[in-house]
Amino acid sequence: MRTPVIAGNWKMNGSSEMARDLCGQLTDKLIQAGETARNIDIVVCPPAILLHPVSDAIAGSPIQSGSQDIDQNTSGAYTGQTAASMVVDAGAKYTLVGHSERRTIFGETDEMVAAKTTTALEHNLTPIICIGETQQEREADQTEDVVKRQVLAIVENCGISALHHAILAYEPVWAIGTGLTASPEQAQQVHQFIRQQLAANDSAIAEGCRILYGGSMKPENASDLLAQDDIDGGLIGGASLNSTDFFAICAAAIQQAA
């Protein structure tokens, strides 16, 4: 059985005080949940400048930290960028790569996402590789073409074995921050398709690779989404900024893992 993952992406939100308070509240709720909380993997991804206070706040808890991005270069004259070694030094165990906002706003290509995946793995970070289609692409019936291209870019540039140590996150761009959500059946259909693309290269890796849903998962829909055969957790945006909402999603995953 694949261990569910609930990862929170704070995006460009937060402060040191907020990080301590939110992580403290979440830790208290997880302690009350008992040992079952350790049946899932829980990750919070704050802005890079908050990784140190977050790592301090979650010490000894079931929560781990991750960065929202890394540069594909290990060091050098790249003003404003953050190296993988820096986020590791700040306590991170995971990193997002290829988030839709990085692709659409900052112009990251499939090749750049693959390069960042390689860099993450070289630094023993678990990359959470984001893939997904825009509303225009969905309306043009291009969903499968887009996610296949994005998955194959990782396979071709990093090797299928990279996905033994990575996590995929399907995030339909049209369902991020819009209040829209793919139905559980729609999400499952795409997750299943993604797993089939991996299976064409390695069936064992396909079976073991965790694929998260990242399109407006909330306490109200988490259980139905997580009940789908090929949905192994969630990449949570706005709800991760509220400890009650984020814990409710974690609790749905804990129940699913029972």
Helix (H, G, I), strand (E, B) or coil at 57: helix
Q: What is the DSSP letter of 128?
A: E
Separation of alpha carbons 150 and 164, rounded Å: 17
Closest CA to 158 of 99, 209, 100, 112: 112
Query: Which DSSP helix (H) or strand (E) runs through 97?
Result: strand 94-97
Helix (H, G, I), strand (E, B) or coil at 9: strand
Separation of alpha carbons 75 and 49, rounded Å: 17
Tokens representing residue 118 in the block? 């390689």
Measured in whole angstroms, the distance separating CA 198 from the mean position of its chain's CA atoms is 18
Phi, psi dihedrals of residue 64, rounded to the nearest 5°:
-120, 160
Indicate if 191 belongs to the active site.
no
CA angle 190, 194, 196 (to 5 degrees): 115
DSSP 13-28: ---HHHHHHHHHHHHH
Indicate if 137 belongs to the active site.
no
**Which one of the listed residues 137, 171, 207, 220 is annotated catalytic?**
171
For the annotated catalytic residues, the residue numbers are 99, 171
